[in-house]
Copies of this chain bind each other. A is one copy, B any other.
Amino acid sequence: MLAQYLPILDWGRTYNGSVLTNDLVAALIVTIMLIPQSLAYALLAGLPPVVGLYASILPLVAYAVFGTSRTLAVGPVAVVSLMTASAAGAVAAQGTALYLEAAITLAALSGIMLVVLGVLRLGFLANLLSHPVISGFITASGVLIATSQVKHILGVTAGGETWPAMLGGLARAAGTVNPWTLAIGIPATLFLFWVRKGLKPALVGLGLAPRAADIAAKAGPVVAVAVTIAAAVAFDLEGRGVKLVGAIPQGLPPFALPSTDLALIEQLWVPALLISIIGFVESVSVAQTLAAKRRQRIAPNQELIGLGASNIASALSGGYPVTGGFARSVVNFDAGAETPAAGAYTAVGIALAGLFLTPLLYSLPIATLAATIIVAVLSLVDLKTPGRLWTYSKADFAAHMATIIITLLAGVEMGVIAGVGVGLLLYLWRASRPHAAIVGRVPETEHFRNVERHRVFTVPHVLSIRIDESLTYLNARWLEEYVLEQVADRPEVRHVILMCSAVNEIDASGLESLEAIDHRLKDAGIGLHLSEVKGPVMDRLGRTHFIEELGGRVFLSQDRAFRVLAAVPDEPVADAARGMI
């Protein structure tokens, strides 16, 4: 019972020396990868770089205690950083104390929401984000993030929350480009692209094992960081107008209490909820992918608690919202991490970096961090999905494109909300008109098929309708309309049989609609009958007066219902099988 909420009690019991070694190696590799990434994502979130380090220490420890994935690595990620910038930017200007307070409060709110969702077992709400909506959102976020970093490559000042505003800002600032910044930014970007695409094959060509080559390639950004720091020092780039990271407060994360200002909380709770859900969806997808490779399991509702604890830990140590990241988790997995303890060791590594390495980062050009971000997020942009969706499903295509367009034009929050809204609208639209068919008997069999697709036998005074969906409140009104329209079209009908073989459930609205149909058909002198009602559905109907009051009867099989009600002696099948009636 306790182990359910504290997965550490599970894996901690069997922890031994060989597992420790594997975890330590993985932690070292992830630490090297995370340091530049944490600084870069803090920049993207509009926060001092050190906040990125803070968000990469305690949250990892919290996840190690509460999380269920053995290999997920939490910390700042690109999309959540962008959402943080958008939400905090709506409250205060970047660089102000209020902006930082808003970011910390977002982490606290998001942490509390995730824990509450987890305790209430509401993880299923993440289902509201369909895959086309998520991929549209990630593509558009990638474009927004990359565009937002171009100003750091150019060395200009420009703002904007939406894509047109960003492009406009860059265009207006075109005259103030700093050539020295450009001289750092462009080579760094090209180098990092090559690291991502070409370094691994080159290393393999040099005789390195593919897995080792893969991991070494992830360290590429560290090379870019080292070289550009050296260049900045050698050529006094600070004096030539190149923006550097500057002084980073040295030391361990401070203990911070998030804001209890109700006005601030009121402004931030909606973005905090969206950050929670997007973060959870991203994290749980990564965790599931990795768990499946080793036939392990994750518990999605406990994952909510794990991520929530991480975010609360982040807020308490002056960090901003975190979640499980794809790239770092894969590196952690590939480097051989076996338990969440690897995450805790990574936290120690980053804490040591915070204590001793920050003076070295003084001369790191911001342009290098921007290049890191651009190269990382452009891999998120997925140009193949729209075409694939168009071929497969127009509704999914519509939800995907709506999400992309609204995210680009109206920002990340509206993008998520619109995506969920469009998806739900299309779903409800489809759910409100399920498939149903008028059926007839396939000659010389007991099977009944759609009269429009098969040559089947029917009689004018019996109308058999097969309903291919559960009867719920979303389609209850449709059911009434459909049945009554079919009857209105056929004045000779005396019996209606609803064939319920595909009806898994009838909710109270569905039941009332059946009652309403029955009453209305009775008024018109028509009997309503049911056939092939499933056991559990029948059990529930038995608890009501519906069956007693029904104008017609309930038949075990459609065949029998049709035989009895049609009662046409010259139908060959009825004749042949009369003994069975």
Chain A residues in contact with chain B, CB under 8 A? 124-133, 284, 288-289, 291-293, 295-297, 300, 388-389, 391-393, 395-396, 423, 427-430, 432-435, 468-469, 472-478, 480-481, 484-485, 487-488, 491, 502, 504-505, 507-509, 511-513, 516, 520, 523-524, 540, 543-544
- The docked-state distance in angstroms from the alpha carbon of A475 to that of B431 is 14
Q: Contact check, B423 vs A473: say whether CB atoms are below 8 A apart.
A: yes
Q: Contact between B127 and A485 (Cβ–Cβ < 8 Å)?
A: no
Question: Known contacts A292-B484, A292-B523; is A432 also within 8 Å of B124 by CB?
Answer: yes
Q: How far is the CA of A509 from the CA of B524 in the complex (A)?
A: 45
A293 — which chain B residues lie within 8 A by C-beta? 520, 523-524
Measured between beta carbons, the chain B residues less than 8 angstroms from A491 are 295
Cβ–Cβ < 8 Å partners of A477 in chain B: 124, 126-127, 284, 300
Contact A540 B472, CB 8 Å, known A289-B520, A508-B132, A516-B289: no
CA distance A511 to B288 in the complex (A): 17
Q: Which of B434, B480, B487, B502 contacts A502 (CB 8 A)?
A: B502
Q: Copy number of this protein in the oligomer? A: 2
A509 touches B132 (CB 8 A): yes
Contact: B295 with A130, CB < 8 Å? no
A125 touches B428 (CB 8 A): yes
A477 to B123, CA, bound (A): 10
Of the A-B pairs whose beta carbons lie under 8 Å apart in the complex, a sample of 15, sorted by A's number, is: A124-B432, A127-B473, A130-B508, A132-B473, A288-B481, A288-B484, A289-B520, A291-B484, A296-B488, A389-B508, A391-B544, A392-B508, A392-B544, A427-B473, A435-B504
Q: Determine whether the beta carbon of B540 is less than 8 Å from that of A475.
A: no
Contact yes or no, B396 A297, CB < 8 A: no
Contact among B388, B473, B484, B540 with A297 in the assembled complex (CB-CB below 8 Å): B484
A578–B427 CA distance with the chains assembled, in angstroms = 44
Q: Is the CB of B295 within 8 A of A488?
A: yes
Task: Contacts A131-B476, A292-B484, A292-B523 known; list 15 others, CB within 8 Å.
Answer: A124-B477, A127-B474, A127-B476, A127-B477, A129-B473, A130-B476, A130-B507, A130-B508, A133-B473, A284-B477, A295-B488, A391-B544, A392-B544, A427-B472, A427-B474
**Would you call B473 and A130 a contact (CB within 8 A)?**
yes
Write out the residue numbers on chain B whose beta carbons fall within 8 Å of the beta carbon of A395: 507
Q: State the Cβ distance, A558 to closest chain B Cβ, in Å.
A: 16
B468 adjacent to A504 (CB under 8 Å): yes
In the bound complex, residues from chain B placing their C-beta under 8 Å from that of A296 are 488
State the 9 A-B residue pairs at the shortest beta-carbon distance, nearest first.
A130-B473, A292-B520, A396-B508, A124-B432, A131-B509, A130-B509, A131-B512, A127-B432, A127-B474
Q: Say yes or no: A433 contacts B124, CB within 8 Å.
A: yes
